[in-house]
Amino acid sequence: MKISNYEVCEGVKLTVIQTDKFKTDELSVSFAVPLKKETVVLDHLVPEVLSHSCKDYPTQLEFNIAAERLYAADLEGYASNHGEVQLINFRLNTINESFAFDEKELFSKALGLFSKMIYEPLLDSDGFFDKEIVEKKKKDLCDAVRARKNNKTRFASSRAVELLCEGEDYAASVLSSTEAVECVTAKDLKARYDEVLNSSPVYIYFVGALEGEKVLAKVKEILPFTPRTAEKLVTEVKYEAGEFRRITERMNIVQSKLCLGFRSGMTLAQDCYHNFVLFLELFGGSPVSKLFVNVREKMSLCYYCSPIGDNTKGIMIVSSGIDGKNREKAEKAILQQLEAVKQGDISDDEFESAKKSAVGALLEVNDDQSALARWYRGRALVSNKETLESFTEKILKASKEDVVNAAKGVSLEMVYFLTGEEERA
Amino acid sequence: MENFTLKENARIGEKYYYLKHKSGLDIYVVPKKHLSSYAIIGTRYGASDRSFKTEKDEDFLTVPDGVAHFLEHKLFESEDGEDTFARFARVGGNANAFTGSNQTCYLFSTTENFNENLEILLDFVQSPHFTEENVAKEQGIIGEEIKMYEDDPNWRVHFNMLEGLYLNNPAKVNVCGTVETISKITPEILYRCYNTFYNLNNMVLCVCGDVDAETVVSVADRVLKPAEKVSIIRHSEEEPEGINQAFVSEEGEVAMPIYNIGFKEKVLSDPSELLKYKAEMEILMRMMFSKSSEFYNDSYESGLITPWFSAWSNAGRDASYSVISGSAPNPEEIFEAVKAEIRKRRESFFDLDSFERAKRCIYAETLTDFNSTSSVANAMVGFALNGNDFFDFADAVSAVSVDDLKKRLAESFEPERAVLSVVVPFSAE
């Protein structure tokens, strides 16, 4: 595996991870903008509209057929965020040409269609996006916002994030209202598109069999990037919990959801972030972690109980599905396990298992095309030059004290409880 | 390597080694130069195996729903009290398991100590330890798992559809069972199920990674206890050709209705027929309902369907059905439109271009499965448990002709054997 970094033009970075272990080639282009309540809806809609069709293939049917002809080239557009950096992503995945029956220059052709998707959208006579498509995508996004509650586990943890970060830009990462979507116009969207395309910093990742220089040449030839001044995007990190809050909400459900919201203050931007990764593993990341072994296996309180976090924002949510009557017991048990780590109550076995698990997970990133790009992109966004190898080394060298110190940085700010039960007297 | 059968597929650049191990176990090894290696062992035993005996048993045993899944959880318990996950973790393995209607599988992935991990996998599936106490403990955990699924409308709508399709076929059994049925599970029941189905002759192992086949077999030689071949007799009540109920509706905490449209299909037990069926259905489903189909695009443009739309077919040992699922305001209209589309395509079939494209897409998807050790091994075991070979799938797809598809379409998706299952938002109180 060989990693090469290039600058396509000012503000447009390309990283090529060359490896022949995959059957497919994958290229992703991410435009980075600040995550803001005012623009987040536009940033979600732009890639949706673009990946619907393009000028040369004006209907979704024609566009999808064109992609299928290239051995089912997978072309998609979607929004995601790392902390308070909003990404507008476009991804292309196509089989490596050596596996095609007849096609020559398969990657270049697929990249051509990919370029049309981003740069040659279907516009109306006013130069705006096609109104019908925009309305469709607005409706789909409203549906998705409303459908958030269909998946109770995800709803509860995203609701916890939204409440924990209320008043911060980060809260906008959870789309919870349809109002802002409904008032978007085709004109607003086109203006946002122009702004993003021409002035946002761009991160391009290629993972596949092609050589770095070749990928660079193809990107330069086919994708018409223009120079831009890359402003540094920052995420506001809180290192300590704010005033404690307890929030209970009701829904017509059988299983209650308990989510504990913490500030960890630990992010990818820090040199010691690996200690936090190890802490997460030990605390709740695997079937030998403290939460799994104690809260699930010993106390039989739940089927799942594990922490999720945003490694750019420095927050952690421990999420669990429990019987409503066990709320206090479960909350206490989770906090007890955290306290145990803080007190250094870690056996050698637990520590070594957590280390092995964390290292194994990192090595496995090497075997997953999309995960590889994501791993490096997350770090590039905070100007972290770490490699998978150097990060793995750091984990191997970490001590119990390092994990205890990482745990000590974690503080509880909020308990969110979603339940089907009536208010107790 | 004289004992191994080597099979190569030059088109996709992959090969595997196969060995019928002396213990009775089928072993497949797919070499792949990844940093992580993956192993999975599966048994032909799942939620559908409700009533059974071996040729040595006098009577059939009928078990409470959810036993196969319960057993999967409990097999991780060991006699010396050491948790199996912890054993794996000590040598760097990350273990997991899953249960379906016809199979239960145990797996691990690791980036080090492959042999030690494989040894643990093969050892723990041969070492059941069920006690009153550990059964009682699991009832709490699985009880929460069941409640989690009760709140999951996609799970509800799917099992309601199966209820609509089948009167007696155990394919409709909820994999986890219910809080009530799992309360009836005892160590004795678990042992009887275990002793019947966890016989190495009824199991398949697949390893994928930077591992050589001889090493795998040497671990197997060391750990596996030869199993006497048993024949398993499964009992199920006669299932009529027709369906149980054409419409099933339930209220749930959903934003807009979600639906499963199910077609009851003929069951094929012959492996080669099953493989052909899978290949044909995959092509048909793609031509009719994929994002590059006319149906999808017309229905999306008209607002009938939303992007939450998918179609797949399931072909198992004792049940076979096709599903169109999604979320949209008027599932009844979609039900009618789907049936109309089938009638239309029976009369005027697709053009050759969509046929060729569909085949090409399935080729690309099958190829992409080989990016990941877990995808390859899971597919290998899934196919092998049905008496098939995943490596034959791409060829089976390319062998399908337009006439095959026309014939298949005429026999499948029968409107008379269709069910609409919906979960709709709670009505305003």
- Looking at A48-52, A292-296, B337-341, which range is the least confident one? A292-296
Q: What is the pLDDT of residue A424?
A: 46
Q: What is the pLDDT of residue A423?
A: 55
CB contact under 8 A, B151 and A254: yes
Look at residue A13 and tell me whether its pLDDT is greater than 60.
yes
Regarding whether A275 and A190 lie in a shared domain, the answer is no
Tens-place pLDDT, residues B238-260: 999 999 999 999 999 999 999 99
- Looking at A294-303, B13-22, B349-358, which range is the least confident one? A294-303
Task: Please compute the mean of the pLDDT values over residues B211-215 and round it to a whole number.
Answer: 95
**CB-closest option in B307, B308, B361 to A68:** B361
Regarding whether A181 and A302 lie in a shared domain, the answer is no
Q: What is the pLDDT of residue B237?
A: 85
Regarding whether A263 and A118 lie in a shared domain, the answer is no
Give A425's pLDDT tier (boundaries 50, 70, 90).
very low
Tens-place pLDDT, residues B359-403: 999 999 999 999 999 999 999 999 999 999 999 999 999 999 999
Look at residue A327 and tell me whether its pLDDT is greater than 80.
yes
Task: Please compute the mean of the pLDDT values over residues B107-123 and round it to a whole number.
Answer: 98
Residue A231 lies in a domain: no
Residue A401 lies in a domain: yes
Regarding whether A23 and A101 lie in a shared domain, the answer is yes
Q: Nearest CA to CA, how far is B373 from chain A (Å)?
A: 9
- Looking at A87-96, A241-250, B228-237, which range is the least confident one? B228-237
For CA atoms B250, B254, B257, B261, give the dihedral sign: negative
Q: Nearest CA to CA, how far is A300 from chain B (Å)?
A: 5
Cα separation, B18 vs B272, in Å, equals 19
Q: What is the pLDDT of residue A421?
A: 73
C-alpha torsion angle, residues B61, B54, B126, B174 (rounded to 10): -40
Residue of A300, A322, A369, A375 to mutate, interface with B, max B Cβ within 10 Å: A300
Cα nearest neighbour of A355 on chain B = B92
With beta carbons less than 8 A apart as the criterion, state whether A106 and A94 touch: yes
Task: Please compute the mean of the pLDDT values over residues B130-149 and round it to a whole number.
Answer: 92
Q: Give the structural domain span for A403.
A: 245-419
Tens-place pLDDT, residues A296-313: 989 989 989 999 989 999
Q: Which are the contacts of B2, defined by CB distance < 8 A and separation ≥ 6?
A: none
- Per the annotation, the verdict on B72 as an active-site residue is yes
**CB-closest option in B91, B152, B297 to A61:** B297
Cα nearest neighbour of B363 on chain A = A71
Give A230's pLDDT tier (boundaries 50, 70, 90).
confident
Is A253 touching B (CB cutoff 8 A)?
Answer: yes
Q: Which are the contacts of A129, defined by CB distance < 8 A and separation ≥ 6?
A: A49, A121, A122, A123, A186, A189, A190, A193
Do strands A12-18 and B104-110 pair parallel, antiparallel, or not at all (unpaired)? Answer: unpaired
**What's CA B265's distance to the chain center, in Å?**
17
**CB-closest option in B32, B94, B367 to A286:** B94
Q: What is the pLDDT of residue A300?
A: 87
Question: Into how many domains does chain A fold?
Answer: 2
Regarding whether A216 and A183 lie in a shared domain, the answer is yes
With beta carbons less than 8 A apart as the criterion, state whether A378 and A268 touch: yes
Give A73's pLDDT tier (boundaries 50, 70, 90).
very high
Regarding whether A272 and A334 lie in a shared domain, the answer is yes
Q: Nearest CA to CA, how far is A99 from chain B (Å)?
A: 7
Regarding whether A197 and A331 lie in a shared domain, the answer is no
CB contact under 8 A, B89 and A303: no
Residue A233 lies in a domain: no
Using a CB-CB distance cutoff of 8 angstroms, which residues of chain A are in contact with residue B140? 300-301
Q: What is the pLDDT of residue B3?
A: 83
Cα separation, A187 vs A56, in Å, equals 21
CB contact under 8 A, A296 and B363: no
Cα nearest neighbour of B298 on chain A = A61
Look over chain B and give the mean of its residue pLDDT values, rounded to a whole number: 95
Cα separation, A80 vs A59, in Å, equals 25
Structure tokens at B178: 């219910």
Give B269's pLDDT tier (boundaries 50, 70, 90).
confident
Regarding whether A43 and A175 lie in a shared domain, the answer is yes
Regarding whether A255 and A194 lie in a shared domain, the answer is no
ipTM: 0.93
Tens-place pLDDT, residues B76-104: 999 988 889 999 999 999 999 999 999 99
Q: Helix-strand-coil percent breakdown of chain A, rounded to 5?
A: 45, 20, 30
User: Chains A and B: how many Cβ contacts under 8 Å?
Assistant: 175
Domains of chain B: 5-234 (3.30.830.10), 247-425 (3.30.830.10)
Regarding whether A406 and A340 lie in a shared domain, the answer is yes
Q: What is the pLDDT of residue B2?
A: 55
Tens-place pLDDT, residues A43-66: 999 999 999 999 999 999 999 999
Structure tokens at A306: 């594990």
Structure tokens at B225: 């206890």
More confident residue, A308 or A422: A308
Residue of B2, B14, B55, B72 marked catalytic = B72
Q: What is the CATH number of the domain that holds A347?
A: 3.30.830.10
Task: Please compute the mean of the pLDDT values over residues A91-104 and round it to a whole number.
Answer: 92
Is A329 touching B (CB cutoff 8 A)?
Answer: no
Regarding whether A284 and A408 lie in a shared domain, the answer is yes
Cα nearest neighbour of B305 on chain A = A140
More confident residue, A297 or B298: B298
Cα separation, A153 vs A149, in Å, equals 9
Cα separation, A271 vs A309, in Å, equals 18
Q: Which of residues 193-232 of A touch B (CB under 8 A)?
A: none
Tell me which of A222, A253, A281 is where a domain ends.
A222
**Sheet with strand B418-425: strands edge to edge:** B247-252, B418-425, B258-264, B320-327, B309-315
Residue A234 lies in a domain: no
Q: What is the pLDDT of residue A178?
A: 96
Q: Nearest CA to CA, how far is B136 from chain A (Å)?
A: 10
Regarding whether A286 and A201 lie in a shared domain, the answer is no
Is A302 touching B (CB cutoff 8 A)?
Answer: yes
Q: What is the pLDDT of residue B82?
A: 86
**CB-closest option in B86, B148, B360 to A288:** B86
Tell me which of A157, A187, A222 is where a domain ends.
A222
Tell me which of A153, A188, A222 is where a domain ends.
A222
**CB-closest option in B36, B95, B367 to A23:** B367
Residue A383 lies in a domain: yes
